[in-house]
Structure 1
Amino acid sequence: MSMVPLDSSKKISFQRKICDGDLVIVYERHDNMKAIKVCKGSELQNRFGVFKHSDWIGKPFGSKVLSNKGGFVYLLAPTPELWTLVLSHRTQILYIADISFVISYLEIVPGCLVLESGTGSGSLTTSLARAVAPSGQVFTFDFHEQRAASAREDFERNGLSSLITVGVRDIQGEGFPKEYSGSADAVFLDLPQPWLAVPSVETMLKQDGVLCSFSPCIEQVQRTCETLQSSFTDIRTFEILLRAYEIRECRLVSNAVEEGVTTGPLPQKRRHCLPNGKNTDSLENNGSVMVRPCSSARGHTGYLTFARLKVQ
């Protein structure tokens, strides 16, 4: 099967200059980013002021740009990691921890042919495309026509159309198209009843090819594993739990204060942590860095079941 080469004019590069019509990620802070299409004559208005798109054109990705009030934002390239954080959520999406694990365990490298169902919001699909580039191909399917059309538009905006083909198809009921039989290096399923698609996956994978099925419920995993046992080996299920930490500077004081937070004992005293900038009469030192788990952590997303097709 011939592969369409990636359009070099649209290829994301940190050395390439921003052009009129490009998609950029406007970074205000780590929890506030948005995707914007650069259009000469347009403006972005936010709490930092007014930013003219014409000032962005010709600058490299990663540039810091100023507003009319002296505020600033950063213009970042729409990498798969950033796109996952700003895309429109048409369905539940996979995040970086799951995505990186999937690509690693599916053994996806440049030149691979990957089948995916369903497309959803396209978070994983974008990362798959980068993993198979420049000569590979991702064929992704969703039964919902409007969802598939929206995903196709997103891939075009990101310059990934030459790597991703979006189809409308009920994989659970119809299976993957027969034209891909025996040609897939890897298959990814995100379906309510993935066990129904397993017989089709068997015919799509090359010998020794790998399947991954994402399911939020353990009952789905159990039934899928039962179906996989006849034709697959090395069946494994994982749950990826990510724990982030807060790192911030604080001041340590020896005497009790009204807004202090006790963090540890000292002989006949207690240490207290104050917000940076507070003035006290009894500082033990000029400051310290406090590290602790974030108060809100992302919990269970789903189970990832991997299996390798038996060599006949």
Structure 2
Amino acid sequence: MLAILPENKTTFGRRIKEGDLVIVYERHDHMKAVTVNSGAQFQNRFGAFDYSDWIGKPFGSKVFNKKGGFVHLLAPTPELWTLVLSHRTQILYIADISFVILFLEIYPGCLVMESGTGSGSLTTSLARAVAPSGHVHTFDFHELRANSAREDFEKNGLSSLITVEVRDIQGTGFPSKFCGEVDAVFLDLPQPWLALASAAEVLKPDGVLCSFSPCIEQVQHTCEVLTSTDFTDVRTFEILLRTYEVREHSFTKMIDEQSSDEHGSFSSLPCKRLCSEIAKDNRSSTSTLEKGVTVNNEKVRMIVAKPNPETKGHTGYLTFARRIV
């Protein structure tokens, strides 16, 4: 089984084996995690792919089926796993995850506590951050959800780095055996203020806590409790990610003296600077055509970047605080 560990990302020549977890990439917004089984097939809109044809190929390969359809075979990483995992609960995505790991000051060898586990999106990235000598203890009050997460971590080869337990942290707190030993605590709970006293007990002096909450009322109550207990440097952030799509688009434009202004620019095209430069060239020259632009009422082909119309907005608020003595 291929584990989601740092060395796997940097090892060259990795080849797919029977039983490996593979991320099948069709496009940036359509991927799926599958386990290679030589006696079965992978089915998608491009047809059927025999798993046996994948065995022995290096990760990153482009593979074809008999009908000419193709997919790319990628090695699993925490980033890709976040995009393909089963959503048992609302999950944290890459922008929030990277911010959490940075501000929790997590590094290899750290001991981290998390509640609740949910779908395990953040847990997977935490495990890579503390590898190879650290450990993540994650807790969820829902037994079936905890069991499903445990199975995912085993499938990803992370069992040695993650311990999953069924526990109501809001009601009973973190295990007392970890008192003063934990480097960082992450809370994703409906009432995180109920777990703050327990988090303070298990955190080392100068340890950092993060609480994720979707509603500002939760943040306000959490901050009130944090400022009245053994925490300082209380800060709240909201991560808003705006993605851009880079694609080739075609525009019809007559490029002549009548359609340009006195400076040679073309206001109806999306990139005035590029069109201004093109207008300076000989309009029938090869150099103009090599730029992918045609003239005289023909289509203008341009590479443009535009905001994704389905940009995700608010996910939640991240509140950080530092344990003091």
Contact in 1 for aligned 2:22/2:36 (Cα 8 Å): yes
User: Which residue in 2 is equivalent to 1:76?
Assistant: 74
Unpaired runs of 5+ residues, structure 2, are: 271-291
Contact in 2 for aligned 1:143/1:168 (Cα 8 Å): yes
Contact in 1 for aligned 2:293/2:301 (Cα 8 Å): no
User: Which residue in 2 is equivalent to 1:131?
Assistant: 129
User: Which residue in 2 is equivalent to 1:38?
Assistant: 36
User: Which residue in 1 is equivalent to 2:120?
Assistant: 122
Shift of 1:247: 1.8
User: Which residue in 1 is equivalent to 2:237?
Assistant: 238
**Greater share of helix:** 2
User: Which residue in 2 is equivalent to 1:262?
Assistant: none
Contact in 2 for aligned 1:241/1:300 (Cα 8 Å): yes
Shift of 1:59: 1.7
Superposed CA offset, 1:134-161 (max 9, x none):
0100000000000000000000110000
Shift of 1:18: 1.4
**TM-score in terms of structure 2 length:** 0.85
Contact in 2 for aligned 1:252/1:287 (Cα 8 Å): yes
User: Which residue in 1 is equivalent to 2:25?
Assistant: 27
User: Which residue in 2 is equivalent to 1:166?
Assistant: 164
Superposed CA offset, 1:29-69 (max 9, x none):
11111010111111112222221111111222111111111
User: Which residue in 2 is equivalent to 1:261?
Assistant: none
Work out which of the residue numbers 273, 276, 282 in structure 1 matches 2:297.
282
Is 1:176 matched up with 2:190? no
- Tell me the distance in 2 between the aligned counterparts of 1:85 and 1:10: 17
- Tell me the distance in 2 between the aligned counterparts of 1:253 and 1:36: 44
Largest Rg, 1 or 2: 2
Structure 2 matches for 1:262-301, cutoff 5 A? 267=261, 271=268, 281-283=296-298, 286-301=300-315
Identical aligned residues as a percent: 67
User: Which residue in 2 is equivalent to 1:260?
Assistant: none
Contact in 2 for aligned 1:119/1:141 (Cα 8 Å): yes
Unpaired runs of 5+ residues, structure 1, are: 1-6, 257-264
Structure 2 matches for 1:140-289, cutoff 5 A? 140-229=138-227, 230-255=229-254, 267=261, 271=268, 281-283=296-298, 286-289=300-303
Shift of 1:11: 5.8
- Residue type at the aligned position of 2:235: R
Shift of 1:75: 0.9
- Tell me the distance in 2 between the aligned counterparts of 1:29 and 1:253: 28
SS, match of residue 249 in structure 1: strand
Contact in 2 for aligned 1:253/1:271 (Cα 8 Å): no
- Tell me the distance in 2 between the aligned counterparts of 1:10 and 1:105: 26
- Describe the shift of the 1:299–1:10 C-alpha distance in structure 2 as closer, same or farther (beyond 3 A): closer
Shift of 1:296: 1.9
**Greater share of strand:** 1
Shift of 1:77: 1.1
Superposed CA offset, 1:201-223 (max 9, x none):
01110110000000001110111
SS, match of residue 58 in structure 2: coil
Contact in 2 for aligned 1:255/1:270 (Cα 8 Å): no
- Tell me the distance in 2 between the aligned counterparts of 1:296 and 1:31: 11
- RMSD after superposition: 2.2
- Tell me the distance in 2 between the aligned counterparts of 1:278 and 1:173: 66
- Tell me the distance in 2 between the aligned counterparts of 1:10 and 1:128: 14
